[in-house]
Amino acid sequence: MTTADQAPPVPRTPRRAHARRNHDRLLREARSVFAEHGIDASLEDIARRAGVGIGTLYRNFPTRQALLEALLHDGFDDLHVRANELLGSSAPGEALTLWLRLLAAHAATFRGVAAALIAVIHDERSALHASCRAIHTAGAALLARAQESGDIRPDVSPSELFTLINAIAWAAEQTPEAVDQADRFLHLVMRGLQE
Amino acid sequence: MTTADQAPPVPRTPRRAHARRNHDRLLREARSVFAEHGIDASLEDIARRAGVGIGTLYRNFPTRQALLEALLHDGFDDLHVRANELLGSSAPGEALTLWLRLLAAHAATFRGVAAALIAVIHDERSALHASCRAIHTAGAALLARAQESGDIRPDVSPSELFTLINAIAWAAEQTPEAVDQADRFLHLVMRGLQE
DNA sequence: ACCTGAACACCGTTCAAGT
DNA sequence: ACCTGAACACCGTTCAAGT
């Protein structure tokens, strides 16, 4: 045996490129299938549409949560950035409402996401837990500002607000009119939270 | 062949009593299993705990919906009766709030009921559709009175209200504190609906 | 190293056979 | 008439075999 035996004998790039393409295809098809059937959609279906074996899907995303996490990650990041921007706004109440509208839209990305987010915030072992907590904290800062300025009642907690917004997103998911409903519900609920 | 051949040769009562007992046992165990695992719980589990074969469960309740319907039926009736009583109340706003609290509690009977109720109200073929519509109508009458008396904003529709209450019940289901949460959310939302 | 798909496990549903 | 449970179908997940 020589050391040469241990080194890979052929260039890896093509294989890696191929693997990467599978990964991307899985994400694309997962997004499409989740959008159509909700987050409990068939994983087999996703693999088939991506043109890979079911084993490849599991290799790339060991759990359904991992796949979901990969799909929601960018949205989470975006929400985080937007929250920080809005913390500089001179109208705390409006800033909060605007951001909550974004949060509701994100929670309604696919059918089932709102329920998943609430589950995740209560489950520390979840892959989404950290990013979900970060969003929660960002929202809490916006809420605190709106409360200090007198726009929002002082007795509303960040957790209550988070749950309520997800409930709104959930309600919108259930009805045919989805998006319009979400805005309407948000409007009504925010009235209740005002000072 | 004589006509005697066609008549049942033995008394039926014991067999009927036995069948009836199976029916009752299935309902009792279903209530208990649904309470523990939500309305998607294993039917096999329910049959086993009731001490009958899975086929007997299907014979008594051809679909999961039929089983659910049987369990929720009394609660629906009760809500209907209470709505009619409360229509005679001299405080329309309070009457509505009180009744909505009952509705939210009913929608939280088992995990998953709130979602089922919203699905049912949009699906005319569902076994629960008629009783769900009756509740919806009863609630609409209470709402109309509260709006005429100036307690509730005139632009809130019965459907919106129904969906919002189910959303509250759903939110309460998701969190560990369940019941307290539901009351708190109802309070906040009702503030938003006030004139 | 990565991929495949057969194999396994699990559960909902049906139905032929039994009483 | 009612009950049973084996049989079937379906789908999520794992893993031995292939490249």
pLDDT of residue A2: 40
Tell me which residues of chain A have a pLDDT lower than 50.
1-12
Interface membership of B169 toward A (CB under 8 Å): no
Closest nucleotide relative to residue B56's CA, C1' based: D3
* B29-68 pLDDT per residue, tens: 999 999 999 999 999 999 999 999 999 999 999 999 999 9
pLDDT of residue B178: 67
Interface membership of A102 toward B (CB under 8 Å): no
Interface membership of A155 toward B (CB under 8 Å): no
**Minimal-distance CA residue of chain A relative to B122:** A175
CA distance A168 to chain B (A): 7
Q: Do A188 and B118 touch (CB under 8 A)?
A: no
- Please give the full DSSP string across B77-110, using - where no structure is assigned: HHHHHHHHHHTT-S-HHHHHHHHHHHHHHHHTSS
pLDDT of residue A142: 97
Q: Do A175 and B118 touch (CB under 8 A)?
A: yes
DSSP-assigned letter for residue A85: H
Q: Any residues with CB less than 8 A from the CB of B51 and at least 6 apart, and which?
A: B25
pLDDT of residue B10: 44
Interface membership of A162 toward B (CB under 8 Å): no
Interface membership of A104 toward B (CB under 8 Å): no
Q: How far apart are CA B61 and CA B41, in angstroms?
A: 15
pLDDT band (50, 70, 90) for residue B128: confident
Interatomic CA–C1' length for residue B56 and nucleotide C18, angstroms = 14
Confidence check: pLDDT of B138 > 80: yes
Q: How far apart are CA A146 and CA A19, in angstroms?
A: 48
* B61-107 pLDDT per residue, tens: 999 999 999 999 999 999 999 999 999 999 999 999 999 999 999 99
**Minimal-distance CA residue of chain B relative to A163:** B171
Q: How many CB atoms lie within 10 A of CB A77?
A: 13
* A57-103 pLDDT per residue, tens: 999 999 999 999 999 999 999 999 999 999 999 999 999 999 999 99
**Does residue A55 reach within 7 angstroms of strand C, measured from its CB?**
yes
pTM: 0.85
Q: With contacts defined as CB-CB under 8 Å, which chain B residues touch A185?
A: 160, 163-164, 167
DSSP-assigned letter for residue A53: -
Interface membership of A12 toward B (CB under 8 Å): no
**Minimal-distance CA residue of chain B relative to A114:** B171
Q: End-to-end alpha-carbon separation of chain A, Å?
A: 78
**Does residue A22 reach within 7 angstroms of strand C, measured from its CB?**
yes
Q: Do B167 and A171 touch (CB under 8 A)?
A: yes
Q: How many CB atoms lie within 10 A of CB B194?
A: 15
